[in-house]
Amino acid sequence: MKRTKRIGSAALVGALFAASAWVVAQAQSQAQTQVQDAPAGDAGNGKRIYLAVGCFTCHGRSGQGGALTGPAPILASTAMPFDGFKGQIRDPSNDMPAYSDAVLSDKDIGDIYAYVKSLPGARSPKDIPILNN
Amino acid sequence: MSKRRSADSSRRNFLKSAGLAGAAAAMVPPGTANAVPAAPQTRKAAIPGPRQVAAETLAPAADPVNQTSSGGDFMVDVFNSLGIEYLAINCASSYRGLHEAVVNHGNNKPEIITCVHEDIAVHLAQGYAKMSGRPMAMACHGVVGLQHAAMAIYNSWCDRVPVIVLGGNIMEADKRAPGAEWAHSGVDIGQLVREFTKWDDQPASLQHFAESTVRAYKIATTPPMGPVFIALDAELQENPIANSKSLRIPKFEPVTPPQGDSGAIAAAAKMLVEAQNPLIICDRMARTPAGMANLVQLAETLQCGVIDNVGRMNFPSRHPLNQSFRRGLIGQADVILAIEMNDLWGTLTHFSDRIVRQSRPNTKPDAKIITLGVRDLYLKSNYQDFGRWQDVDLDIAGDGEASLPALTEAVKRLIDSSRKDAFSVRGQKLAKLHTAMVEQSKTDATIGWDSSPITTARMCAEVYNQIKDEDWSLVGTAIRLTWPHRLWDFKKPNQWNGVSGGGGVGYNLPASIGAALANKKRGGFTVAFGGDGDFMFNPGALWTAAHHKIPILYVVHNNRAYHQEYMFLVAMAARHGRGVERMDIGTTIKDPNIDYATIARGMGVHGEGPITDPKDLAPALARAVAAVKSGEPAVVDVVTDPR
């Protein structure tokens, strides 16, 4: 007896939605002005936590973004202010899991923030010939 | 799976039947002219052969051991009359009569495609049908083989793809040998798949078989298409034909797909022409190569955006009106034309997977929705693939592809010069947005370009770079792997083959090989992506590709997890505020890591990888492409980031 996994019969369709919303979210985050109140996080520890608690599962190890049931925005070199970043983790506005302080301390979030800020963002695709096919 | 291996002498007792004994040797071989009895031949003074002499001079044998005809031969003639090219099988005793007849009477026509699992055979047929436009038959063992096949049949059902499924059975209880033949027989074996096939039957005679098979073929290929099932009684397959002169194969004439009502088409055209922001959404629209051209013509006539849910190769990815990654258009549209949609409600609704599941429409409150399609003309009750109810304003029952030319002409008749100018402005605006969308995709693809594990964007870009100058078809993709549609230039009708339909895992590898089988004849280059989890459901499909020399480049998107489930489990743990670091338990495929290239090589398939350094990817792909171009299947195992 074979089993079927709960992947949703329209997984690719959902991904099309997600990718389009992801583009919008990225544009919005880049348009926001960075505030200066972010804690001085430990990017190395942030990477460890980012991988351990599952951030990478939706946002990618390089912070390139992705999708679950909705968009998982690009986090590499995010321009999102820390307060907004933390607020999204604690009380997300979409289907992102809410991480309470029982599983993720404020310091953890600060370290994760420092890590994703340190990730290289997008380059010009013109520098990569095979992206211009 | 236990098969009907233990030959029971009683199985041979069918020839004890009165009237058949002895006459078997003199039986007219069926079927060489579609089983229509040939005119009596004038025999000149030929010297009787020993069998004829025996038949004419000896008393009927009580327990004959030879026969000169079989029902299986006639069945093969029926399949060949329908032009069925291939029969995918995992061999089994309950259809040994048919199997032998295909090989010897049909001279392996339909050509047998040997599969190591029934799920592979059905999925292979599903992928083949979408690429070739023609159904393939598959045969499986009664009961247990059909149980193996069931999930794949369900995928085909949900995908609205025709597959001719045949299952052996021994209808008469007194003809079953002790043991497995009882466990592998049923009163009504089609019951198992009846809720997800369009039609089924268990013929009780050869004439009944012929009529039901032609009927099944017609039903399967009439939109909305779907799989059908025919139970093959073993006695019917194996026994001599008792009444060959009365047998005939019915004439098959395909149904002309129905066009939408002319009044409704005119009403739709008026709504679309008068709209400020019309939008076309489609899913399984293109049935034939003409489908894409028809849709392009309508979109260009209206100069409106098209959102393609990519259930088929509906619309060119680089067409300026393609807005598939700009779903915000749905909320701006005042008239939406939804063509052959699988899940219209899901497309027009934002659904939230939170503790309290909620939904809200993505559409404007006063948006008018027109549907055109045949999907809802044939539904069943138990399995809920029909999705949630969607209110619409004009519901046109008609095949999308067949109805588009009439709709386009109706639209053209309503366009005056002022509308034409407005349409042109709209089209130019959409073209700019399309260009921006493509450029944004390219920019996004650069993030993590040199990372290891390799990003899925880089994997897809590297593959495209290797195959872009071939006559390529992408016939599979991993879950939510949208990079090909964001980065590649899809412009030919055969360049995309849709997805599984039902979401049943195990589709991608065998269905891709089925599509590659269809492409092989025309010399096309077949490429597919597939997840590692999906791969491990049916890795044996690779052996079929090697055995039948089916060229395909299969790229394993190896994120070493059932990644969607990993994400869901993280969400569950976060919801409960506990254990978010332990969600790899039961969701990952590591310790040990699976070496897919070695698996491939073990089945006679060219294998590359595992590739972890992005710099190694292009050379590995180049070697694999060369293997495929020489006629081999090839697997490239790419260790990737999750998505």
CA distance B284 to A56: 33
**Best mutation site among B193, B327, B587 for testing chain A: the one with the most A CBs within 10 Å?**
B327
**What would the two tokens of residue B362 be?**
């993505």
Confidence of residue B60 (pLDDT cuts 50, 70, 90): low
Q: How far is A130 from chain B (nearest CA, A)?
A: 6
| Chain B, nearest residue to A65 by Cα | B643
CB-based contact A84:A32 (threshold 8 Å) = yes
Residues 96-125 of A with CB under 8 A from B: 97-100, 102-104, 119-125
CATH number for the domain running over A34-122? 1.10.760.10
CA distance B118 to B125: 11
DSSP string, B141-174: -TTHHHHHHHHHHHHHHHHT---EEEEEE---GG
Provide, for chain A, the percentages of residues in helix, strand and coil under a 3-state DSSP scheme, each rounded to the nearest 5.
Answer: 50, 5, 50
Each residue of B209-259: pLDDT tens digit?
999 999 999 999 999 999 999 999 999 999 999 888 999 999 999 999 999
Query: What pLDDT, on the 0 to 100 scale, is given for residue A69?
Result: 75
Tell me the pLDDT of chain B averaged across its residues. Answer: 92
Sequence spans of domains, chain A:
34-122
HSE, CB side, 13 Å, CA atoms: give it for residue B428: 6
Does the distance separating the beta carbons of A53 and B570 come in below 8 Å? yes
Geometric angle at alpha carbon B420, from B418 and B425, rounded to 5°: 100
Alpha helices of B304-375 — where are they, by DSSP H? Answer: 344-347
Query: What pLDDT, on the 0 to 100 scale, is given for residue A39?
Result: 83
Task: Choose among A10, A61, A131: nearest Cβ to B445.
Answer: A131
- Smallest CA-to-CA distance from B405 within B296, B320, B310 is with B296
**Residue B588 burial (CB count, 10 A):** 17
Check CB contact of B577 with chain A, cutoff 8 Å. yes
Check CB contact of A40 with chain B, cutoff 8 Å. no
Q: How far is B427 from chain A (nearest CA, A)?
A: 20
**Best mutation site among A20, A69, A99, A112 for testing chain B: the one with the most B CBs within 10 Å?**
A20
CA distance B206 to B241: 8
Phi first, then psi, for residue B277 (nearest 5°) are: -135, 70
**Residue B36 burial (CB count, 10 A):** 14
Contacts of B140 (CB under 8 A, 6+ apart): B89, B90, B92, B95, B118, B121, B146, B148, B149, B165, B166, B167, B168
End-to-end CA distance of chain B: 37
**Best mutation site among B483, B585, B588, B643 for testing chain A: the one with the most A CBs within 10 Å?**
B643
- Smallest CA-to-CA distance from B197 within B145, B124, B129, B146 is with B146
**Residue B257 burial (CB count, 10 A):** 19
DSSP H or E segment with residue B206: helix B206-221
| Lowest pLDDT segment from A11-15, A59-63, B54-58, B107-111 | A11-15
- The residue ranking higher by pLDDT, B12 or A74, is A74
- Smallest CA-to-CA distance from B407 within B288, B280, B319, B255 is with B280
| Chain B, nearest residue to A123 by Cα | B446
Query: What pLDDT, on the 0 to 100 scale, is given for residue A71?
Result: 83
Residues 433-452 of B with CB under 8 A from A: 437, 439-449, 451
Taking 50 as the threshold, does the pLDDT of residue B290 lie above it? yes
CA distance B554 to B545: 11
Taking 60 as the threshold, does the pLDDT of residue B44 lie above it? no
Check CB contact of B148 with chain A, cutoff 8 Å. yes
Average pLDDT over residues B442-451: 97
Average pLDDT over residues B163-183: 97
Residue B383 DSSP one-character state: S
Q: How far is CA A24 from the centre of its chain?
A: 14
Q: Extract the runs of DSSP E, i.e. beta strands, from B447-595.
A: 472-474, 525-531, 552-558
Each residue of B366-416: pLDDT tens digit?
999 999 999 999 999 999 999 999 999 999 999 999 999 999 999 999 999
| Lowest pLDDT segment from B4-13, B85-94, B593-602 | B4-13
Q: How far is A6 from chain B (nearest CA, A)?
A: 8
| pLDDT-above-70 percentage for chain B | 91
Average pLDDT over residues B177-190: 97
| Chain B, nearest residue to A97 by Cα | B571
Does the distance separating the beta carbons of A99 and B325 come in below 8 Å? no
Q: Residue B340: which region, alpha, beta or left (left: phi > 0; alpha: psi -120 to 50)?
A: left
Task: Choose among B439, B499, B583: nearest Cβ to A54.
Answer: B583
Tokens 């690009």 -> residue: A74
| B552-558 sheet: strands from edge to edge | B472-474, B525-531, B552-558, B633-639, B606-611
Domains of chain B by start residue, with CATH:
9-38+46-246 (3.40.50.970), 262-436 (3.40.50.1220), 446-639 (3.40.50.970)
Taking 60 as the threshold, does the pLDDT of residue B183 lie above it? yes
Query: What pLDDT, on the 0 to 100 scale, is given for residue A67?
Result: 80
- Smallest CA-to-CA distance from B587 within A121, A7, A24 is with A7
CA distance B78 to B445: 52
Average pLDDT over residues B47-64: 69
**What would the two tokens of residue B469 be?**
């100058």
Phi first, then psi, for residue B17 (nearest 5°) are: -55, 135
Q: Which residues sit opposite B233 in a β-bridge? A: B169
Does the distance separating the beta carbons of A131 and B487 come in below 8 Å? yes
Q: Is the peptide bond between B610 and the residue preceding it cis, with omega within 30 degrees of 0?
A: yes
Residues 229-258 of B with CB under 8 A from A: none
Predicted complex ipTM: 0.84
